[in-house]
Amino acid sequence: MRVEIKFGGYGGQGIILMGNITARAAVLYDNKNAIFTPSYGPEARGGAASSNVVISDDEIDYPYVTHPDILVVMSQGAYEKFAPLLKDGGKLIVDEDLVKLKNGEGDVAKVAATRIAEEMGKRIVANIVMLGFFTGVTKILSYEAIKKAVLAAVPERFRELNEEALERGYKKGIEWQKE
């Protein structure tokens, strides 16, 4: 198994953190190989941001994501830029309130990650809601692995909030699978 994943959005959404957490979950808690590569736009906040993760059961001989199997986007700009790169038959995961799709998208999973985070009172955890959704939809990583990686990545005072965000997203992902 080799899976190429690209996370895309704009600076300030936690896109780089999403990739980092995903790779850490794979390596530290799910006993897989992973490579994480961040990509920043010209400015930290508001500029384009993406991160790439390759996960494999075997040794990873080529570390770059060229045509992702899974594309997770949290902004219209990221969708426009990266959707053409998605592998045929790949899975597109979007924040449905922030991304307007065009016709003929194929395998798409949608969640209102930002809206869910806002309902929790902290828009900043939208990326963690999305990570939970990604985990529930793709089943590439175990929920326990992603949960451990999230809790290890955030300051102690925000762990409860992030755990709730992850769980809400994961439950939406499981619901999506049943549809």
What's the pLDDT at 41? Answer: 62
Q: How far is it, in rounded angstroms, from Cα 154 to Cα 149?
A: 9
Q: Does residue 40 fall inside a structural domain?
A: yes
Q: Is residue 129 part of a domain?
A: no
**pLDDT > 70: percent of the chain:** 94
pLDDT at 49: 87
Q: Is residue 121 part of a domain?
A: no
In a domain, 8, yes or no: yes
| pLDDT tops 70 at residue 104 | no
Name beta bridge partners: 56: 2, 33
Residue 41 lies in a domain: yes
2 close to 64: Cβ distance less than 8 angstroms: no
pLDDT confidence of residue 94: 96
| Cα–Cα distance list, 143 to 32, 98, 105, 134 (Å) | 14, 25, 27, 10
Q: Give the pLDDT band (50/70/90) at residue 95.
A: very high
CATH number at residue 88: 3.40.920.10
Backbone φ and ψ of 88, nearest 5°: -55, 130
- pTM surpassing 0.85? yes
Angle between the N-to-C axes of helices 15-24 and 126-138, in degrees from 0 to 180, rounded to the nearest 10: 40
Distance CA 52, CA 121 (A): 29
Alpha-carbon distances, residue 96 vs 62, 83, 102 (angstroms): 32, 15, 12
164 and 32 Cβ atoms separated by less than 8 Å: no
Domain housing 64: 2-110+139-157
- The number of folded domains in the chain is 1
Residue 149 half-sphere exposure, CB side, CA atoms within 13 Å? 25
For residue 124, being part of any structural domain is answered with: no
Q: Is 127 part of a structural domain of the chain?
A: no
Within a domain: residue 179? no
